[in-house]
Amino acid sequence: MNKKAIWLIIGLMSAAVLGVILVQIDLIRTSMSVNEERFNKNVQEALVKVSDRLEDFEETYFIESVNGFTLAYQEKQIIGSNDQQKNSSKNFKPEDWDRMPNADRQFYVKIMMDNPGVKSFFDQNKSMRSLEERIKVGDLDLLIHQEFEKRGINPKNSKFKFHYGIWSNEKNVMIIEDGHYVYDDFDNKTPVPTYNTSSLYNPDNSVPVFHNAKVPPGELRVYFPNRTNIILSSLWKNATGTALFAAIILSCFAYTLTVIFRQKKLSEMKTDFINNMTHEFKTPIATISLASDSIVSPMILSNPEKVQRFANIIKQENKRMNSQVEKVLQMALLDKRDFSLKLTELNLHEIIQAAVENISLRVEKRDGVVKTLLNASRPSIEGDLTHVANVINNLLDNADKYSPDKPEITVITRNISNGVEVTVQDNGIGISKEARKQIFDKFYRVPTGNLHDVKGFGLGLSYVKAMMTAHKGSVEVKSEPGKGSSFVLTFPFQVEA
C-alpha cells in the first residue's frame, strides 16, 4: 500500500470518528437542554403550588381565629332551611373544627370567604399584618418539601440539596430562609441578621406570594447548588457510554495505524534485507565463478600453485556465504525460541581478548587501534561460549564498520553488584535519537549518509539483544551523531531459570 492510500484512509477514518463524537456531543447537549427545561418546569410548578397553598393556609388560619363568627355564619348560610341539618348544627362546637376532616375544612373556608362581609374583614385584617406574620416558617417548609417530593425532587437526597426563602418587596431583604427568620426584629430599622444564604439573592426560580393582591408583597425563591449535577444525572450513563465507545474506537483506530505503519516499515526493512543479501551473495558467487573458470584453464592447470590459490579463494568465499546463511538461520531459530543455551563457566576477559585479536588486523589496516581496559576483578560468568563470543564479535564488527578512517575502539569491563559490565566504545559516526529507538529491531540498519560501503543484513544488534535477554542480562546504547557510540552489556554471574 502506497503512502497516499494510507494517508487517505487515515483522513477518512479520522473524519468519521470525529463526526461520530461531534454527533454524540450534540445529542448530549440537546438532552441537557431538555432536562433543564423539564427540571425548571417541575420546580416552577412546585413553587406556584406552594404559593397557592400559602394563601389557602392564611384563609384557614383566619377562619379559625374568628371561630365564633364562623359558627354563626355556618348556621345561617350553610344549614339554611334544612331542618335535619339545622338540628345537627346545634351540636357543632368550636373544638369540633380541630377534629373536622381537611376536605370539610376547605369547603367551609371557601363558603365563608365567598361572603363579602367575611372577605372584607379578612382583607382588612391582612393589610394590617406584615409579610413575615402572614407566613409560618413551619408551613412553608412542609409545603415546599411536599411539592418537591411529588415531582421527584427528593430533598432527602443530597443531590437535590436546595435553599429556599421569602423575599420582601417592601423591605427589599430576605425575611425567611431555609425554615428560619432571617431577622430577629423586623420592626427595627437596622435589624440583626440571624441567618443568611446569599445565593437566594440570585435565585434559580421564583414566584410571587399572595399574588392575588394588586402588588404582591414578596417572592418565594429557591436555589439549587448542585443544579448542573441534577440536570446531568440522567445523562451520566449516556455520556459514559459515549466516552467509552469513543475511547474504544480511538484505541482501535490508533492500534490499526500502528500496525499499518509497523507492517509498512517491516516490509521496507525486509526489502532492504533482501537487497543486501542479494548483494552479499552476488560478490562471492561471482568470485567463485571466476576462480572456477580460472582453474579449468589449461594455463592454470599446469601450475599447481595457482590452482591451490584459486581453490583457497573458492573455499574462503564459500565459507563467507555459509556464514551469512548461518546468521539468517540463527535469527529464524531465535524468532521461534527454538534454541537452548549450553551454559558453562566463562571468563569474559579471555573471550574479549580473542575477539580483539581477531579484529585488530582489520582495524590496523585502517591505521586504527583497539584497546582494552579489563578492570573487572571477577570476570567469570555463566553463559553459552558460542553466543557470548558472537555478541562481543558483533559489537566490535559494528564499531569498525561504522567508524571513519583511523577507528579508535575501546573495550572496558568492570564488576557491578550482581555481575560484569562490558562496554564497547568507538569514535564512529554515532546514532541519532530516533535511530536509537530502532537499532535492536530485526532488519533495521542505521542510515550511514554518504558512507556506502557498510555491508550487513541488519541482524547483528537484534541478535545481540536476543542473546542478552536469553542470558538474563541487558544491553543499552549511549550515542550522539558524530561523537561515537557506547554499547553497554550487563552479564549476571549466574543465569537464573
Residue 342 CB neighbours (<10 A): 9
- When mean pLDDT is compared across 158-162, 164-168, 273-277, 346-350, the lowest value belongs to 273-277
- Contact between 273 and 457 (Cβ < 8 Å): yes
As a whole-number percent, the residues of the chain with pLDDT over 90 amount to: 15
Is the model more confident about 229 or about 208? 208
C-alpha cell at 198: 446569599
CA distances from 75 to 62, 71, 360 (A): 18, 6, 132
Place of cell 477514518: 13
Point out which residues pair with 206 in neighbouring strands: 221
What is the pLDDT at residue 16? 82
The CA-based angle 484-490-491, given to 5 degrees, is: 140
Is the model more confident about 218 or about 258? 218
What burial letters (b/e) apply to 209-241, b meaning 16+ CB within 10 Å? bbbeeeeebbbbbbbbeebeebbbeebeeebee
**Main-chain dihedrals φ then ψ at residue 409, nearest 5 degrees:** -120, 135
- Provide the terminal-to-terminal Cα distance of the chain, rounded to the nearest Å: 44
- Contact between 64 and 112 (Cβ < 8 Å): no
CA-CA distance, 42 to 19, in Å (whole number)?
35
* pLDDT of 448 strictly over 90: no
**Main-chain dihedrals φ then ψ at residue 262, nearest 5 degrees:** -65, -45
SS3 338: coil
C-alpha cell at 82: 334544612
Question: How would residue 90 be classed by pLDDT, with cut points 50, 70 and 90?
Answer: very low
- When mean pLDDT is compared across 49-53, 104-108, 127-131, 445-449, the lowest value belongs to 445-449
What is the pLDDT at residue 386? 82
CA-CA distance, 189 to 263, in Å (whole number)?
84
* 375-419 pLDDT per residue, tens: 999 999 999 888 888 889 888 888 888 887 788 899 999 999 889
- Give me the mean pLDDT over the 120-145 stretch: 79
CA-CA distance, 210 to 52, in Å (whole number)?
8
Is the model more confident about 314 or about 413? 413
What is the pLDDT at residue 183? 63
- When mean pLDDT is compared across 264-268, 337-341, 369-373, the lowest value belongs to 337-341
The DSSP bridge pattern shows strands 408-416 and 369-374 to be parallel
Question: How would residue 71 be classed by pLDDT, with cut points 50, 70 and 90?
Answer: very low
CA-CA distance, 106 to 418, in Å (whole number)?
94
What is the pLDDT at residue 452? 38
- Give me the mean pLDDT over the 48-63 stretch: 83
Q: What is the pTM of this model?
A: 0.46
* pLDDT of 11 strictly over 70: yes
As a whole-number percent, the residues of the chain with pLDDT over 70 amount to: 74
* 473-492 pLDDT per residue, tens: 999 989 888 888 899 999 99
What is the pLDDT at residue 100? 62
Show the beta-strand stretches assigned E in 418-468.
419-425
Q: What's domain 343-492's superfamily in CATH?
A: Histidine kinase-like ATPase, C-terminal domain (3.30.565.10)
H helices then E strands: how many in the chain? 16, 12
Is the model more confident about 150 or about 445? 150
Contacts of 428 (CB under 8 A, 6+ apart): 399, 402, 403, 404, 407, 484, 485
* Architecture per CATH, 262-336: Orthogonal Bundle (1.10)
CA-CA distance, 465 to 299, in Å (whole number)?
51
CA-CA distance, 140 to 146, in Å (whole number)?
10
CA-CA distance, 319 to 12, in Å (whole number)?
53
Place of cell 555481575: 419
What is the pLDDT at residue 445? 59
CA-CA distance, 79 to 85, in Å (whole number)?
6
CA 395 from centre of chain: 41
Point out which residues pair with 297 in neighbouring strands: none
* 267-298 pLDDT per residue, tens: 776 776 676 667 667 767 888 888 888 888 88
Domain residue limits, the chain: 3-65+129-233, 262-336, 343-492
C-alpha cell at 417: 553488584
Is the model more confident about 474 or about 171? 474
* pLDDT of 154 strictly over 60: yes
C-alpha cell at 309: 590459490
CA-CA distance, 340 to 88, in Å (whole number)?
112
